[in-house]
Amino acid sequence: MTDVVTVTEPRPGVAQITMADQENKNTFTGDLLAGLGRAFTRVQADERYKAVILTGYGSFFCSGGTREVLLDIHAGESTFQAKDEGTPNAYSLPLECPIPVISAMQGHAIGGGLSMGLFADFVILSRESIYTANFMKYGFTPGFGSTRVFPAKLGLALAQEFLLTGRTFRGAELAERGVPYPVRPRKDVLAAALELAESLAEKPRRSLVLLKEHLVRELREQLPAVIEQELAMHEVTFHQPEVKELLLSRYGA
């Protein structure tokens, strides 16, 4: 593991992947992406594990793309897809993982970081944290599979509000809106995830793998076409001059 991503075993049969790039607030830096890829590969290869908890540090879960990467996409030098064929895309690692994944989003989840969290099988939110799909805040259409996973996991009405407006929600507000996930005080999110993971770890691994494969088959099958459509929209929306101006003036604000 890199220093910014660690794997621990807090309970028998439960792996905990912790993102803790405090210098970069868990944005998708090269170190974080590489660490996530290695962490999930390690967990998937160890048949002792029956459930995975994905979490962050302090008040940050995952902050999505770095400004440098977004500017590279604007300049036509990159995309949100992994550069090397065969390299997993970090945002879909929870979906592709064969065993159930719990996103313990104890902290802020922004853009692609929120998309990654929603690709998990279970989601636990924090009342104090902010959750935003802020792509349109910068003038470009959403990526990271968010146009499919948001409606699938949040319902169409709330997904449209997230994606079209780019607005920010507190976890407490999402609870009032009836979001279909537990919303806990930040200090209780990881404990709730551990309790859920322990209940999963009581089941046979093979049964968990087969049932998850059945439940997520449609989403897995649909995702490549969705990504193609998102990339096509980026070809139209990402290279507008306003996008660069907004990234330089608003990113991180």
Q: Is 3 exposed, middle or buried (0-12, 13-18, 19+ CB in 10 A)?
A: exposed
Listed in order, strand segments (DSSP E) in the chain are 5-11, 14-19, 51-55, 60-62, 101-105, 108-110, 122-126, 130-132, 168-170, 183-184
**What's the length of the chain?**
253
Contacts of 241 (CB under 8 A, 6+ apart): none
The predicted pLDDT at position 251 comes to 81
The predicted pLDDT at position 79 comes to 83
Residue type, 224: P
Contacts of 199 (CB under 8 A, 6+ apart): none
For residue 120, give Cα distances in angstroms to 78, 152, 153, 162, 233: 26, 12, 10, 18, 25
The phi and psi torsions of 238 (rounded to 5 degrees) equal -75, -25
Residue type, 114: L
Say how many C-beta atoms besides its own lie within 10 A of residue 122's C-beta.
19
The predicted pLDDT at position 75 comes to 85
Instruction: Report the alpha-carbon distance of residue 54 to residue 120 in Å, rounded.
Output: 9
Q: Name the nearest CA neighbour of 28 among 72, 74, 67, 59.
A: 67
Q: Domains of the chain (ranges plus CATH)?
A: 5-186 (3.90.226.10)
Please give the DSSP secondary-structure letter assigned to residue 134: G
Contact 16, 56 (CB under 8 A): no
Q: Count of alpha carbons within 13 Å of 195, Cβ hemisphere only?
A: 7
Q: Which segments of the chain have a pLDDT < 50?
A: none
pLDDT of 22-78, one tens digit each? Answer: 999 999 998 999 999 999 999 999 999 999 999 999 999 999 888 888 888 888 888
Which sequence positions are flagged as catalytic? Answer: 234
The predicted pLDDT at position 2 comes to 57
Instruction: Report the alpha-carbon distance of residue 161 to residue 51 in Å, rounded.
Output: 32
